[in-house]
Amino acid sequence: MSTDLIAYWPLAWETLQALTAHYGPAIDRAAEAVGIPYGQWYGWLMAARIFEPDPVSAARLSVRAAYTNPALLQERLEQGVRLGLLAPTGSAEYHLTNAGHAAVRALIEAAYAAMARLQPLPPADLDRLLALLRRLVEASLAAPEPPGKWCLRIARHFDPYGQAGPVPQLDQYLSDLAAYRDDAHLASWRPLGVTGQAWETLTHLWMGDLVTLDALCARHCARRGYSCESYAAALEGLIARGWVVAANGAYRLTDAGRRVRDEAEELTNRYFFATWTCLNEPELADLRQLLIACREGLLREGR
């Protein structure tokens, strides 16, 4: 895998994050306006719309939210019922109510309105960027498996097909690629037979940003819905596999653990970038320059 090509994904991700910073607060306000407590709409409300006509469930949410406790996902869905936005349809499955559909529309409209004001690139450059990203998304959809395309196909359900303007379309294509990146990474580690919680823990040790149990718990217990004891158990499981060792109150990867995580990252990149051959070298160069300019344009508009 070309080192130069691998550098494209952080650039695309940073562009998506810079764009999300512009419309995320508008979604939060719209959610509060329909009765959802601040910051508690994420991960279930829009998903319920995406899964239609199938119901939403904790099991379906867990496919992509692999690091989150299914019990927390179930709790969020039950909160949706209490808010009148979801209605149970069977065994732990839910559909949007009329009020839920109205809430989804309000959040989408708020996001599109916030994006409509943005001009991160000249129109011709933005059109060119959209055309290149669209080709990558289409190639990813057409690629042989593995990886599967569950996350990507679900993400595609929100495509505005240009009707909301160029910047929402940019958000769609970048989100599509983020979803396919998740598909690729899931395909790289799930065959190893570890839990999402253990894999995320291994990844933090691999990155070197969280190396103690206390730091891991402070970062994730509330947001992932797992207890500190469960993270301790995940670490013990990684030690039993020979991937992690404990020393002086901290944890580090063994050579075997680093090799496993390196190989998963390499496989993720191989899966994800296999479709980028649909662009030739001059087109890839254009894509890089346009992403850089778009990211910088979005950051300037946020100042």
Residue 1: the pLDDT is 52
Percent of the chain residues past pLDDT 70, beyond the cut: 99
User: Could you read off the pLDDT of 12-23 as tens digits, one per residue?
Assistant: 999 999 999 999
User: How many C-beta atoms lie closer than 10 Å to residue 167's C-beta?
Assistant: 24
Residue 208: the pLDDT is 92
Entry pTM: 0.95
The owner of tokens 């129109």 is 123
Looking at per-residue pLDDT, the higher value among 226 and 4 belongs to: 226
3-class SS of residue 279: coil
DSSP code, position 221: H
34-117: which CATH topology? Arc Repressor Mutant, subunit A (1.10.10)
Residue 39: the pLDDT is 82
3-class SS of residue 141: helix
Contact in structure between 76 and 37 (CB atoms under 8 Å)? no
3-state secondary structure 50-116: HHCCCCEEHHHHHHHCCCCCHHHHHHHHHHHHHCCCEEEEECCEEEECHHHHHHHHHHHHHHHHHHH
The residues that bridge with 94 in the sheet, in sequence order, are: 56, 88
User: Could you read off the pLDDT of 33-54 as tens digits, one per residue?
Assistant: 989 988 889 889 999 999 999 9
Domain spans of the chain, in order of start = 1-19+123-194+241-303, 34-117
3-class SS of residue 170: helix
Measured CA to CA, the distance from residue 86 to residue 78 in angstroms comes to 8
The owner of tokens 């346009």 is 290
Least Cα distance to 130 among 17, 291, 273 occurs for: 291
Residues 6+ apart with CB under 8 A from 163: none
Residue 268: the pLDDT is 98
pLDDT category at 4 given cuts 50, 70, 90 is confident
User: Could you read off the pLDDT of 154-203 as tens digits, one per residue?
Assistant: 999 999 998 999 999 999 999 999 999 999 999 999 999 999 999 999 99
